[in-house]
C-alpha cells in the first residue's frame, strides 16, 4: 500500500477543479428567457449584450419552433416544456418567428 502524498492529492484536486471550471457559468454571462405561451413570444423584444444567451422556453400545449427570419438559426421542434438556447455574439437586430405558426414573431436586439 502506498500512502497518498499531500502534493499529489493537491494536484489531483486542482486538475478536478480545472475539469469542472468550463462547466460552470462564467460570472459575466447572462441568460435571458423568452417564454412561449398562448402562441405568443414574451417579451416580444428582448435586449441583451453581445455574448449573452437567450433561452426560449415553450410552456404552450402546442409544439413550436424558433426560426431566424434570415435563416441564420433554427431550433428543433419544441414540445411543451422544451427549450432552446442561443448565444448571440454579434451586435444587431435578429428577427425570429415560429416555423409552424409564422404569425408568431419576436425580436432579439444585441447591443
Beta carbons of 51 and 29 less than 8 angstroms apart: yes
DSSP one-letter string for 11-58:
HHHHHHHHHHGGGSPPTT--EEEEEEETTEEESSEEEE-TT-EEEEEE
| Out of 41, 46, 60, 108, the residue judged to bind other proteins by CB under 8 A | 60
Q: Is 79 in the site for other proteins (CB under 8 A)?
A: yes
Sheet architecture: strand order including 40-42: 40-42, 31-37, 53-58, 83-87
Q: Which stretch binds other proteins (CB under 8 A): 1-9, 16-24, 48-56, 64-72?
A: 64-72
Q: Is 57 in the site for other proteins (CB under 8 A)?
A: no
Nearer to other proteins, 52 or 75 (CB): 75
Beta carbons of 89 and 51 less than 8 angstroms apart: yes
User: CA–CA separation, 24 vs 34, rounded Å?
Assistant: 22
Least distance CB 62 / other proteins (angstroms): 5
Least distance CB 56 / other proteins (angstroms): 15
Least distance CB 26 / other proteins (angstroms): 30
Binding site for other proteins (CB under 8 A): 38-40, 60-63, 65, 67, 69, 76-77, 79-80, 95-97, 99-103, 105
Amino acid at each position: 500500500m502506498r500512502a497518498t502524498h499531500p502534493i499529489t492529492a493537491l494536484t489531483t484536486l486542482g486538475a478536478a477543479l480545472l475539469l469542472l471550471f468550463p462547466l460552470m457559468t462564467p460570472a459575466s454571462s447572462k441568460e435571458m428567457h423568452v417564454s412561449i405561451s398562448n402562441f405568443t413570444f414574451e417579451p416580444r423584444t428582448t435586449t441583451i449584450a453581445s455574448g449573452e444567451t437567450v433561452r426560449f422556453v415553450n410552456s404552450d400545449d402546442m409544439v413550436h419552433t424558433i426560426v431566424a427570419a434570415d435563416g441564420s438559426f433554427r431550433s428543433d421542434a419544441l414540445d411543451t416544456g422544451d427549450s432552446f438556447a442561443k448565444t448571440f455574439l454579434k451586435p444587431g437586430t435578429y428577427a425570429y418567428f415560429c416555423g409552424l405558426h409564422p404569425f408568431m414573431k419576436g425580436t432579439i436586439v444585441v447591443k
